[in-house]
Amino acid sequence: MQLWNNKFSNNDLEALHTFEKKVKAGKGDSVEVYFTDISTARSIFKDIISKQQAKNIIADSSGLTRSFLEESLLDESLNIYFDGDKYTANAADIGVSEMEFAIAESGSLVELSDSIWKRLVSAMPSLHIALVCADRIAKDFETAFEILKKHILDVAQISFITGPSITADIERVLTIGVHGPSKLVVFFIKENKQ
Amino acid sequence: MNTKEFKEKINEKLNDEIQKKNLTKFYEDYPKARQKAFEGYDFEQLRNSVKNIKQNTVDKLEELADKFQKAVEKNGAVFYRAVSDKDVVDYILKLCKEKDVKLVVKSKSMLSEEVELAQHFKEAGIESQETDLGEWIIQIAKHKPSHMVMPAIHLNRQQVADYFEKQLGKNMKPDIEFLVHTARAELREKCLKADLGISGCNIAVAENGAMFILTNEGNGRLTSSLPKTHIVLVGYEKLVESFEDAIPILRILPRNATAQTLTSYVNIILGPSQAIVEHTDGTFSIEKKELHVILVDHGRIEMARDPIFKELYQCIRCSACTNVCPVYALVGGHVFGNIYTGGIGALLNAFIGSSQTANQIQNLCITCGSCTQVCSGSIDIPNLIIEMRKKNIEKEGLPTIPKVVFQNIISNRSLFHNMLKLARLGQKSFKNGQFIRNLPLYFSKYTKDRSLPAIADVPFRDIFDTILQKPAKNQEKIAFFSGCLIDFVYPETGEAVVKSLNALGFSVEFPKDQTCCGTPMYLTGDKESAKKVAMQNLEALESIDPDYIVIACPTGVEMWEKYPQFFRDDPKYLQLAQKYKNRIREYSSFVDEQLNKQNIKLNSLKNNGIATYHDSCHLKRVLGIHTQPRDIIAKAFNTNFVEMEHADQCCGMAGSYSLKFPEISKELGDQKHKSIIKSTANLVYVGCPACMLQIKGLIDKKGGNVKVMHIAQLVNEALKENK
Ligand code: SF4
Ligand code: SF4
């Protein structure tokens, strides 16, 4: 199922910039945003893997995610799981999943969270890689709600993800990664489907 | 808690250096961060939407509750309405028994605190684990939350490390990142093992059953995802009619709460999704989740039916009110609040929390109005607190001393004025005696930290006739309403008011039958006595029928504006009250307007030194007057006008408040004194005689080569040579 409505597809660069500004605001370098084609995205991902010395990757099984992971699947030093139990999710270093669309106004990613596995992919590892088609950006909440409303009775859970997991509960000092990811990397993938 | 214990607690908190440091820092940082977060948004428009949305909720409460129930059930969840706290607890414990629940994980829910769920789990032998970091810290510290959004704001890293050490039996270092990561590991384990997740909910949509859960940590996602069963606790006030109604709330809540654009996670739950169930043989299966939604009353329906306090439905628990509250910054949420903190906490507790402590907490509010300016739902918190005091007095009666004073003395004008005159004669011998202490202006402990003003030798009412007025250029007739302080303590201010208005071309009258405006009685909730003096004042003014009533005291202005409320059932006085309400003018704004309109220049007072201005809470926040007095000072002092730091922070004078909680009043006074000294000014101007009393006393006791004057004195001086 797809939440995004193609009639809203756009090439709104300004919206993408607003998104980047908003999602990064006040969160230091715990958020990275890239607008790029899929092969560049793959090579950035490769760097991330080697920097993190990641072994275990969990991912949702959407077309975009699978295509993004194509090369990584060939890498024998990596374990990639497209499903599993809670403990598999808990042991993962990186989660990779496709987001339905982005909201510029608040710098949020909209996740269709019906699948429990998909939810764990973005909630449990300390690094979350979010993939979004570059033309799927809603300008503001009004647009986002209009899109969501269409399918609201067919879904059980939706999440807005706006940065990594943060807390300021001790002395109001911003600290990253208390329950979920300590880093969020967003790839807006430009149309380039082979 | 009796009054003595309560006072002890206040003192303990005033001396809690750690809490004080944390809260002061927050109090200083928050306003700037908040302002930045709202850039590009029209705050007034946003909060107006929130207000309308919630008023709609109150108006259609039952209808929306029914709709919500239908939608939730249609979405496949189990729905239950709980009337009492016991209902909530019983339902959850029964479910735990059925499911053989051993471990519960909770993400933040004020409602679960309200019904003391953790305590009940403990008694039932079920382990319950808070997953919000702040909530977990106070859980192991066995404290109550001291702030609605940041429950552990009263603790520092060392204390947290100590609690962790005790709880986990491991060595901890007081390093925040380390502590957070320790918590991550510990809480992750619990989330993985838990059989049941419980969370609150920020917005509940009637039309489709959507429940919004906002968290920054992501614990809301884990508690709703990992365990097989999930319970959502929803208070009636969380209901909104349509899905889009969530938009303004999403925009305002994170900005007002923590100066964020949006929390890191917003979960929208629309029904039971999936759960992963591990089996003993090492396999797992994906099963349908079990979702329970409990809609909780526990005093909320009564609140919705109350014609006045239904306004509390407009609260979205953002805690902005608490963040800007000067009293909260001093004593924190363990004294000023109980689960629900700050002024709004005092009000909410009267309906949905612990009503016993609610009364004491309300008394802590100095009605400075800071909270109302930032409230997401435009709630007039100080006004509701006064309403609540009124309600309590209707129920329980006034405490004896104010009762004697208000009902027998102040509301009898000649007796009151004679007593004040007598008080002057006897002030030496009476100063520490019962008599003076019981008058509203004279407070027993008040003398400890600031000097007490003397009652003037000759009250203004006896000076007025000796003032020579020039013939008026303007046709419009002004009556001056002085209020007690100017009349009996600062007659020179009264003189300056009359002379300066006359210099602006008006003839000024002073109807002698005027008396106390009624504020002291009104604030303690004694509406009857307030009404009595209001009638006397209206009659006194009617004998002159002036075009304007000029008042040089903001509380006096406010009180006059409220007079019509007293006479809803009395057409004669209602008509009078309304007529004069429209003719009230606050002194400094009236003068500023006249100076500009008549194009009158003030003489330079630069030779008098450096001047600064203190904003009275009521003048600035209730009446919205703060540019006009500055404009006047700048006209006379030009570059010699400097701003003090935190010019609009309460000076600590709040009527009879200073009597009830002199300790808090003292702290606020100390801070004000510091700002004044730091400003290097030798003249402090104020637009409010009560602030003048407080600040004069502060300077007198704590030192400083500073003169404190009413702005009328400036105007009078600067117009003198213009004659
Ligand atoms: S009116 Fe002032 S003291 Fe009272 S709750 Fe509001 S901010 Fe606090
Ligand atoms: S009273 Fe207003 S400011 Fe305070 S928590 Fe409620 S909505 Fe927020």
CATH code for the domain in which residue B678 is found: 3.40.50
Domain co-membership, B576 together with B654: no
Domain co-membership, B284 together with B157: yes
pLDDT tens per residue, range B470-483: 998 888 999 999 99
Checking if the pLDDT of B321 tops 80, the result is: yes
| Partner residue opposite B133 with nearest CB, options A84, A159, A167 | A167
| Partner residue opposite B262 with nearest CB, options A108, A149, A155 | A108
Q: What is the DSSP letter of B608?
A: G
Domain co-membership, B138 together with B70: yes
Domain co-membership, B84 together with B140: yes
CA distances from B336 to B341, B347, B523, B655 (A): 6, 11, 19, 19
Residue B209 Cβ contacting ligand 1 at under 6 Å = no
| Of B696 and A80, the one with more pLDDT | A80
A178/B133 touch (CB, cutoff 8 Å), yes or no: yes
Checking if the pLDDT of B63 tops 50, the result is: yes
**Most confident range, picked from B221-225, B336-340, B408-412:** B221-225
Query: How far is A178 from A164, CA to CA, in rounded Å?
Result: 9
Counting from 1 in the atom list of ligand 2, the atom nearest the Cα of B317 is 5
Residue B365 Cβ contacting ligand 1 at under 6 Å = yes
Name the least confident of A75-79, B99-103, B396-400, B488-492: B396-400
Q: In angstroms, what is the C-alpha Rg of chain B?
A: 29
Give the pLDDT of residue B430.
39
Question: Per the domain annotation, does B32 fall within a domain?
Answer: no
Contact between A147 and A7 (Cβ < 8 Å) = no
Give the pLDDT of residue B378.
96
Checking if the pLDDT of B389 tops 50, the result is: yes
Checking if the pLDDT of B407 tops 90, the result is: no
Side-chain-side CA neighbours of residue B524 (13 Å): 25
**A173 three-state secondary structure:** coil
Longest dimension (CA), chain A: 51
Average pLDDT score over residue span A170-193 = 88
Minimal C-alpha gap between B367 and chain A (Å)? 28
Closest by CA to B390, choosing from B484, B554, B529, is B529
Minimal C-alpha gap between A69 and chain B (Å)? 24
Confidence tier at B254 by pLDDT (50, 70, 90): very high
B176/A171 touch (CB, cutoff 8 Å), yes or no: yes
Give the pLDDT of residue A26.
85
Question: Per the domain annotation, does B26 fall within a domain?
Answer: no
- Token output for B194: 């838990």
- Token output for B351: 């309906």
| Of B435 and B535, the one with more pLDDT | B535
Nearest CA, atom 8, ligand 2: B318
Question: Per the domain annotation, does A11 fall within a domain?
Answer: no
Query: How far is B340 from B322, CA to CA, in rounded Å?
Result: 10
B278/A86 touch (CB, cutoff 8 Å), yes or no: yes
Domain co-membership, B61 together with B187: yes
> CATH code at A107?
3.40.50
Question: Per the domain annotation, does A9 fall within a domain?
Answer: no
Question: Per the domain annotation, does A15 fall within a domain?
Answer: no
Question: Per the domain annotation, does B332 fall within a domain?
Answer: no
Residue B382 Cβ contacting ligand 1 at under 6 Å = yes
Ligand 2 pocket mutation pick from B258, B316, B336 by most atoms within 8 angstroms of CB? B316
Residue with tokens 């050490």: B165
| Of B716 and B432, the one with more pLDDT | B716
| CA B106, chain centre distance (Å) | 30
Counting from 1 in the atom list of ligand 2, the atom nearest the Cα of B374 is 3
Average pLDDT score over residue span B501-516 = 93
Domain co-membership, B585 together with B610: no
Nearest CA, atom 3, ligand 2: B375
B273/A156 touch (CB, cutoff 8 Å), yes or no: yes
Confidence tier at B148 by pLDDT (50, 70, 90): confident
Which residues in A8-32 are b (16+ Cβ under 10 Å) and which e?
beeebeebbebbbebbbbbbeebbb
DSSP string, B432-450: TSHHHHHSTT--GGGGGTS
Query: How far is B40 from B45, CA to CA, in rounded Å?
Result: 12
Closest by CA to B586, choosing from B522, B530, B629, is B629
Confidence tier at B452 by pLDDT (50, 70, 90): low
Give the pLDDT of residue B603.
93
Contact list, A86 vs chain B (CB under 8 Å): 192, 226, 276, 278, 284
pLDDT tens per residue, range A85-127: 999 999 999 999 999 999 999 999 999 999 999 999 999 999 9
Residue B321 Cβ contacting ligand 2 at under 6 Å = yes
A161/B265 touch (CB, cutoff 8 Å), yes or no: yes
Confidence tier at B405 by pLDDT (50, 70, 90): low
Checking if the pLDDT of B616 tops 70, the result is: yes
Say how many C-beta atoms besides its own lie within 10 A of residue A71's C-beta. Answer: 12
DSSP string, B27-59: HHHHHHHHHHHTTTS-HHHHHHHHHHHHHHHHH
CA distances from B63 to B70, B289, B306 (A): 11, 28, 18
Query: How far is A126 from B619, CA to CA, in rounded Å?
Result: 52
Average pLDDT score over residue span A4-29 = 90
Give the pLDDT of residue A58.
97
Give the pLDDT of residue B1.
58
Average pLDDT score over residue span B386-407 = 65
Question: Per the domain annotation, does B399 fall within a domain?
Answer: no
Question: Per the domain annotation, does A63 fall within a domain?
Answer: yes
Checking if the pLDDT of B468 tops 70, the result is: yes
Checking if the pLDDT of B25 tops 90, the result is: no
Query: How far is A43 from A75, CA to CA, in rounded Å?
Result: 13
Choose one of B569, B591, B613: the last residue of a domain: B591
DSSP string, A131-166: EEETT-EESSHHHHHHHHHHHGGG-SEEEEE-SS-E
Question: Per the domain annotation, does A70 fall within a domain?
Answer: yes
Residue B263 Cβ contacting ligand 2 at under 6 Å = no
- Token output for B86: 């016991």
Closest by CA to B439, choosing from B427, B448, B451, is B427
| Of B577 and B518, the one with more pLDDT | B577
Residue B212 sits at the vertex; the CA angle it makes with B209 and B214, to the nearest 5 degrees, is 170
Counting ligands in written order, the one closest to the CA of B377 is 2
Give the pLDDT of residue B237.
97
Domain co-membership, B580 together with B606: no
Average pLDDT, chain B: 87
Checking if the pLDDT of B519 tops 90, the result is: no
Give the pLDDT of residue B335.
80
Amino acid identity at B319: S
B192/A90 touch (CB, cutoff 8 Å), yes or no: yes
Give the pLDDT of residue B111.
93
CA distances from B556 to B159, B209, B250, B585, B624 (A): 47, 49, 39, 10, 15
Question: Per the domain annotation, does B358 fall within a domain?
Answer: no
**Cα-to-centroid distance, B502 and ligand 1 (Å):** 38
Domain co-membership, B97 together with B168: yes
Checking if the pLDDT of B350 tops 50, the result is: yes
Contact between B128 and B122 (Cβ < 8 Å) = yes
Nearest CA, atom 1, ligand 1: B367
Domain co-membership, B557 together with B638: no
Checking if the pLDDT of B454 tops 70, the result is: no
Contact between B539 and B671 (Cβ < 8 Å) = no
State the residue range of the domain holding B232: 38-296
| Of B658 and A157, the one with more pLDDT | A157
- Token output for B480: 């001056």
Average pLDDT, chain A: 92
Confidence tier at B655 by pLDDT (50, 70, 90): low
Checking if the pLDDT of B623 tops 70, the result is: yes
> Exposed, middle or buried, B534 (CB in 10 Å: 0-12/13-18/19+)?
buried
Minimal C-alpha gap between A192 and chain B (Å)? 30
Region at A151 (left for phi over 0; alpha for psi -120 to 50; beta for the rest): alpha
**Cα-to-centroid distance, B385 and ligand 1 (Å):** 9
Q: What is the DSSP letter of A68?
A: H
Overall domain count for chain A? 1
Question: Per the domain annotation, does A2 fall within a domain?
Answer: no
Average pLDDT score over residue span A159-177 = 90
Residue with tokens 């009275």: B616
Counting ligands in written order, the one closest to the CA of B249 is 2
Give the pLDDT of residue B20.
81
Question: Per the domain annotation, does B172 fall within a domain?
Answer: yes
Query: How far is B697 from B669, CA to CA, in rounded Å?
Result: 10
CA distances from B244 to A108, B68, B206, B295 (A): 17, 15, 11, 21
DSSP string, B301-333: HHHHH-TTGGGGGG-----HHHHT-HHHHHH-T
B278/A85 touch (CB, cutoff 8 Å), yes or no: yes
Contact between A68 and A44 (Cβ < 8 Å) = no
Overall domain count for chain B? 3
Give the pLDDT of residue B589.
96
Average pLDDT score over residue span B505-517 = 92
CA distances from B177 to A26, B161, B174, B220, B221 (A): 17, 11, 9, 21, 22
Average pLDDT score over residue span A29-45 = 95
Question: Per the domain annotation, does B319 fall within a domain?
Answer: no
Nearest CA, atom 6, ligand 2: B315
Average pLDDT score over residue span B237-243 = 98
> CATH code at B247?
3.40.50.10420
- Token output for B568: 């809803």
State the residue range of the domain holding A34: 21-190
Question: Per the domain annotation, does A166 fall within a domain?
Answer: yes
Confidence tier at B415 by pLDDT (50, 70, 90): low
Query: How far is B73 from B79, CA to CA, in rounded Å?
Result: 6
Average pLDDT score over residue span B681-706 = 89
Contact between B577 and B522 (Cβ < 8 Å) = no
Average pLDDT score over residue span B546-555 = 95
Checking if the pLDDT of B90 tops 90, the result is: yes
Average pLDDT score over residue span A45-64 = 95
Say what percent of chain B tops pLDDT 70: 88
- Give the contacts of A127 (CB within 8 A, at least 6 positions apart): A48, A52, A54, A93, A94, A95, A181, A182, A183, A185
Residue B345 Cβ contacting ligand 1 at under 6 Å = no
Domain co-membership, B569 together with B641: no
Q: Is the dihedral of CA B244, B249, B255, B258 positive or negative?
A: negative
- Token output for A29: 């370098």
Helix or strand (DSSP H, E) at B117: helix B117-123
Q: Is the ipTM of this complex over 0.90?
A: yes
Question: Per the domain annotation, does B425 fall within a domain?
Answer: no
Domain co-membership, B655 together with B507: no
Choose one of B591, B618, B636: the last residue of a domain: B591
DSSP string, B58-96: HHTHHHHHHHHHHHHHHTT-EEEEE-SHHHHHHHHHHHH
**Cα-to-centroid distance, B313 and ligand 2 (Å):** 10
Checking if the pLDDT of B408 tops 70, the result is: no
Domain co-membership, B583 together with B672: no
Side-chain-side CA neighbours of residue B683 (13 Å): 19
Question: Per the domain annotation, does A95 fall within a domain?
Answer: yes
Confidence tier at B409 by pLDDT (50, 70, 90): low
Contact between B587 and B570 (Cβ < 8 Å) = no
- Token output for B464: 């007025």
Query: How far is B494 from B496, CA to CA, in rounded Å?
Result: 5
Say how many C-beta atoms besides its own lie within 10 A of residue B380's C-beta. Answer: 15
Query: How far is A23 from A127, CA to CA, in rounded Å?
Result: 16
Contact between B274 and B335 (Cβ < 8 Å) = no
Choose one of B561, B591, B621: the last residue of a domain: B591
Give the pLDDT of residue B56.
98
Residue B344 Cβ contacting ligand 2 at under 6 Å = yes
Residue B343 Cβ contacting ligand 1 at under 6 Å = yes
Name the least confident of A55-69, A167-181, B647-661: B647-661
Minimal C-alpha gap between B92 and chain A (Å)? 23
Query: How far is B237 from B399, CA to CA, in rounded Å?
Result: 34
Query: How far is B414 from B362, CA to CA, in rounded Å?
Result: 33
